[in-house]
Structure 1
Amino acid sequence: MIETSTETLQYFILVFSIVFIGCSIILFLQNRTKAALFTLFIGSLGIHIFMALLDPFLNDWDERFHALVAKNMMDNPFKPMLFTEHPLPYDYKSWTENRIWLHKQPLFLWKISLSYHLFGVNEFSLRLPTVIMATLLVPVIYRMGKLLFNKESGYLAAFFYALSYFHLEIVAGVLGMEHNTFAFIFYVTLSLWCWIEYEITKKKIWLILIGLFSGFAVLNKWLVGLLVYAGWGLKILLKKENRNQLKSYFDLSLSFLITLITFLPWQIYITLRFPLESAYEYSYNRRHIFEVLEGHSGTIWYHFEKFPELYGVLFTVFIPFALFSFYYKSKHTSIALALLINVAIVYIFFSFIVKTKLPAYPYLVFSIIYLSLGVLAWTGIEYIKKLPVNLSKLPAFVFLIIIGFMNFQYFKIKQVHIDGTYSHYGWDGYRKNKIADTKFYKKLTELLPSKDYILFNVRKNEPVEISFYSGIRSYDKVPSFETYTFLKNNSYPIAIIDYGDLPDYIEKDTEIIKINRNSEVLNETLH
C-alpha cells in the first residue's frame, strides 16, 4: 500500500459505504424503496468521496490543466488563464502552454474555483464538485426510472450507476476528461429528466429547467448539450396530435430560448474580449468533427467496441436486450422511443460523422443505458421472486451483490490507485512517480528563495503541476543563449534542473540556482 495521510480514512469510508449499500439492497428486497434509495444515496456519496481521496496528485491528462485554470480563476473568474505570467513568448494556439485558456467552457471551472475558496486549494477540493454531482444523479436516475417504468426499475438503474467503474474513475480524475466530462453529462442527464417530468405533468416549471440545464451542459463543454431537443423535436413530429398543435412547438421554443440565454452571453463575451483565442478555439472544436486530432482515431466501430470499458463486460452482453425492454416495458412508449432515438443519434454522430474518437464522447446517454439495464434486471428479479417464499430473497440478494461487485471492479481500482501496478496511461510506475514528483513540486518553495524564480529543464507538461503546487513559473527546456541573455538583462532570477549536461553559459553562472532533482527526490523518498 502506498502510504498517504488519508489511508485509514479511505478504508473507513469504503467500509462505511459498503455497509450502507448492503443495507440498501436488503431494504429494496423488503419493498422499502424510499429507505433503500436513501441508504444507496449515502453509500454512493461515500464511494465517491473514497474515489476522490485516492490520488494525492493531479492526474494526467486533463485534470492538471483544469486544476490550474480553476485556481487562477479564483482571482479573476472571467479571465480563464493557464499561466498568469509569461516572461517568454508563447503560442496562443497551444492549450497546454498558453495564457488565455478557452479550451473548455467555464461552468465546471467556476465550480472548482468556488470549491477552492471554501475548502482550500488541494486535490480533494478539485474533485469535490464532481463528487456532489455524481451523488445527486442517484435520485435523479431513480426518479427517471420510476416515471418511465416503476420504482423497482428506477432503484436498480440507480444501483447499477452508483457502482459503475467508469464513472467512478471520472470522479477520481483519471478517465474521460474527468471533471469537465462529468459536469457535462450531469446537466445533459438533468435536462432529460426534466423533459420526462414535463411530458408527463405538462407543468411549466419543467420547461424552464430543461432550458437551464441544457444551457448549463453547453456552458460546460459543447453544443451536444442540446441533445434533449433532438428527441423532443422528433417526438413532436412523430406523433400526429402533437405535430398539428402550435403549443408543442411553442413550448420547445420557449425552453430553447432559455437555453440560448444561458450559454450565449459567455460566447459573446469571450468573442469580444479575447477575439484571437476564441476564434481559434471555436475553429479547433469544429475540427474534431472533420479531422483526427491529437492522435485520437478509430473506426466506425470504435464506440461500440468501448462498451465493455464504459459499462463492463457483463452489462455489455445484455445491453441490446435491455434497450428492447426499455421500450416495451415503458409506461410511456412515446417518451421511451424519443430517448432511444437520442441514444441512436449520439452513436451515429460520434461513430459515423465525428473523426476524433474518445471513449467518453457517447457517455452522455449513460442514464438511458442504465435505465434499460434496470428494467431488464427487475424483470429477472420478478422471475426469481416466483421461487418459494423462503428462497426468493436470498438469490435476489446474492444476484445484486455479485452484479454490484463486478460493476465496481474493486481489484482494478486497487491496481490503479493503491498498488500502482496498472495505469490507464500505459506507463510503468505511474502512481509511484506521480507521488514522488508531487512531493518535489511542493518542495520547490523551500529550494528557491522566492516564487519570482523561473525554473527551466523540467519535464514536458510539468510546468502546469509546478505552478499549481508552488506558484513557480517553469519551462520544459534548457534556455537558449538568447533566452538566457534576455532574462539576465531583465533581472529575472533563474533556476534550472541539473541532470549534468548543462551548457557552459549556464554552468558558469553562479547566480543561477541548480537543482539536482534526482538527489532531491531520493532524499524526500528516504524521509
Structure 2
Amino acid sequence: MENLIPGIITVVLCLAGYFQSWRYQAKDNYHLAVWLLLIAGLLLRIYTSTDFFLHYWDERYHALVAKNLINHPFRPTLYDTPLLPYDYFNWPGNHIWLHKQPMALWLMAGSMKLFGINEIALRLPSILMSTAGIWMMWFTGKYFAGKKAGFLAAFFFSVNGLIIELAGGRVATDHIDIAFLFFIGLVVVLSIAFAQSRNPLFNILAGMALGAAILSKYLPALIVLPLWLLIVYDSGNFRLNAIVFQFLIFTGIAALFFLPWQIYIFRAFPAEAAWESQMNFRHLTEVIEERTGPFYYFADKIRINYGELVYLPLLWFLWKTIRNPYNLKMLAVSIWFLIPFLFFSLARTKMQGYMLFTAPALFIMTAVFWVMLSEIKTRSWYRHVLNVLLVLLILLPVRYSLERAKPFQISDRNPEWVKGLRALNREAPEKGVLLNYANPVEAMFYTNLTAYAEIPGEATVRELLDQGYTVIVNDKGDIPYGIATLKGIRLKKLAEAPAP
C-alpha cells in the first residue's frame, strides 16, 4: 500500500490543477491557466522519474557515459578503463562511446556534477526540459492557432504519456529524445520571437538552439529550416534579401555550434566516428538490432502515443492545408509532421521515439480540430456526437498518461540489487574489478569498479591481480575452482536486476 500513496497524491493534485487550469482558461485568464499546466505537468514528471534504479533500455548506457563525462567531457566513454578486450563495433560494450551525439549526455553530466551521481540528478535535465516544453507549446500553439488552441496544445503536451515516460528514462531513447524535442521546440519559439520582433539576437539564439538540436540527435533537426523560412516570411516584416541574409546567419551560427564536435571526433577517434557515422546511414537501408516494422509503423504508433482519435484531426488538418496552401502557418505545422513521417516511414529501422519531435505539430492539429468542433453551433442530433468526440479527444490522452505513469501500480522503486551495489561501492577498492555480474553497466554507474558479465580465463584473472587490481567475483555457484581459490580473490553474493 505504501507504493500507492505517492501515486494517489500525485493524481489528486494533478486532477485539481488541471481542473482549475481549465476553469481559468474559460475565464480568459491564460496566464494562471498555463502556470497550472506547468505545475501539474511537473508533478507528473517528478513522480515518474523517482524510480531509484536505472532502466534497462537505454538509460543505463546514457547514465554511465554521462557519469564518465564528468571527469573528461570531451572523451565519451562507456568502459572508462577497459581491462578486457573490446570491439568498437559493439556499442553496448565499447570504450570510446560515440553512439549518440553529446548534448543530452553533457546536460546529464553537468547535473550529476552539481547534485551528485544519482538517478534524480541524471533525470533532472529531462524533467526540466519537458516541463519547459509545456510553456513553449503554449507559446508556439498560440502563434499558429490562437490562445485557446495554444492552451489545448500545451495541455496535450503536459499530459502526454510518452513524453512523461521518456523524461523518467523508462523507455528506449529516453533523455536523448527529450533533449531533441526541447531544442527543436526552442528553435521554433526563438524563430517566432525573431519574426515578430525583428531582433537579430533571437535569430542568433535560434541558430545556437539548432546547433544544440543537431548535437542531440543529428540531422533530423534540419526539419526546422523550412519552418524558419515560413515563419519569417509569413510575418511580413522582412524583404526577401533580408530573409536570405538572416537565414545565412541562422544556419551559419548552427554550423559553428555543431561542426566542431563532428570534426573533433573524426580526428580524435577516427575508427569509432567512422563506424558510428556509417551506422547512422545504415538505419535508413537496413534493419538494425531488429528494430523495424511495416511502412505504416508510425501511422499505427501515433494512435497509441496520442490517442486513438488522432487520425481525425490529422487528416482534417492536412486536408485544410491542401485546400488553402497559402495559409503558411497551417503549412508549417503540416510540414513539421509530414516530412519526418514520410522519411522515417521509408527508413528500414524504426522506433517510436524517432517521431517524438513532431509531437508539437500533432498537439496543434488536435487543438485546432477541438476548437473547431466546439464552435460548431447546431441543434441537430449529431450535436451529441460532437460532444462525445470533444470529450474523447481529451480523455484518451489522459488515460494514456495514467497508463504510462502507472501511479496505481505497486512496484519496487528502490530494489535490492541497487541497494547491494550502493553498499558494495562503500567498501569497493579504488582499483577494482567486478566479474560475473549480469548488469555490468549498472554496476559501473553505482560503483567505481570496472565490471563484466563474464569470468575471463584464469591467466587473465592472475594478470589483473598482478597489476594490483582487487578482483571481486559475484558468487552464483559457477566460479571455476582455479579462480575461486586464487589468493586475493574476493567472493560476494550480489543481487542482480531481473531480466526485462
TM-score by length of 2: 0.88
Amino acid at match of 2:409: I
2:437 is matched with 458
d(CA) in 2 for partners of 1:410, 1:362? 18
Q: Is the CA contact 2:59–2:175 (under 8 Å) kept in the aligned structure 1?
A: yes
d(CA) in 2 for partners of 1:397, 1:30? 23
Q: Is the CA contact 2:428–2:447 (under 8 Å) kept in the aligned structure 1?
A: no
2:266 pairs with 1:271: yes
Q: Is the CA contact 2:370–2:390 (under 8 Å) kept in the aligned structure 1?
A: no
Change (3 A) 1:209 1:453: closer
Q: Is the CA contact 2:195–2:231 (under 8 Å) kept in the aligned structure 1?
A: no
d(CA) in 2 for partners of 1:119, 1:89? 34
d(CA) in 2 for partners of 1:338, 1:236? 11
d(CA) in 2 for partners of 1:243, 1:351? 36
d(CA) in 2 for partners of 1:362, 1:293? 17
SS at match of 1:220: helix
Amino acid at match of 1:441: L
Pick aligned residue for 1:419 from 390, 407, 410: 410
1:335 is matched with 329
Amino acid at match of 1:444: L
1:295 is matched with 290
Pick aligned residue for 2:247 from 235, 249, 252: 252
d(CA) in 2 for partners of 1:234, 1:27? 32
2:491 is matched with 514
Q: Is the CA contact 1:163–1:408 (under 8 Å) kept in the aligned structure 2?
A: no
Q: Is the CA contact 2:434–2:472 (under 8 Å) kept in the aligned structure 1?
A: yes
Q: Is the CA contact 2:288–2:349 (under 8 Å) kept in the aligned structure 1?
A: yes
Q: Is the CA contact 2:373–2:390 (under 8 Å) kept in the aligned structure 1?
A: no
SS at match of 2:104: helix
d(CA) in 1 for partners of 2:479, 2:223? 54
Amino acid at match of 1:220: S
2:355 pairs with 1:362: yes
What's the % identity of the aligned pairs?
30
Change (3 A) 1:325 1:416: farther
Q: Is the CA contact 2:160–2:401 (under 8 Å) kept in the aligned structure 1?
A: no
User: For each residue in 1:490-525, what CA deviation from the matched residue of structure 2 results, as whole angstroms up to 9, or x when unmatched?
Assistant: 33322212222222211333532222346x99xxxx
Q: Is the CA contact 1:325–1:375 (under 8 Å) kept in the aligned structure 2?
A: no
1:426 is matched with none
SS at match of 1:494: strand
Q: Is the CA contact 1:134–1:186 (under 8 Å) kept in the aligned structure 2?
A: yes
**CA drift at 1:183:** 0.2
Change (3 A) 1:408 1:158: farther
Pick aligned residue for 2:465 from 475, 478, 488: 488
Pick aligned residue for 2:257 from 253, 259, 262: 262
1:441 is matched with 421
Q: Is the CA contact 1:130–1:179 (under 8 Å) kept in the aligned structure 2?
A: yes
Q: Is the CA contact 1:325–1:372 (under 8 Å) kept in the aligned structure 2?
A: no
Tell me which of the two structures has the higher relative contact order, counting C-alpha pairs closer than 8 angstroms and 6 or more residues apart: 2
2:49 pairs with 1:56: no
**CA drift at 1:297:** 1.6
Please, which runs of 5 or more residues in structure 1 have no aligned partner? 421-430, 522-527
2:453 pairs with 1:476: yes
d(CA) in 1 for partners of 2:279, 2:433? 31
SS at match of 1:477: coil
2:17 is matched with 20
Q: Is the CA contact 1:196–1:335 (under 8 Å) kept in the aligned structure 2?
A: no
User: For each residue in 1:3-41, what CA deviation from the matched residue of structure 2 results, as whole angstroms up to 9, or x when unmatched?
Assistant: 5xxx75565444333322211011111222222112212
SS at match of 2:473: strand
Q: Is the CA contact 1:194–1:206 (under 8 Å) kept in the aligned structure 2?
A: yes
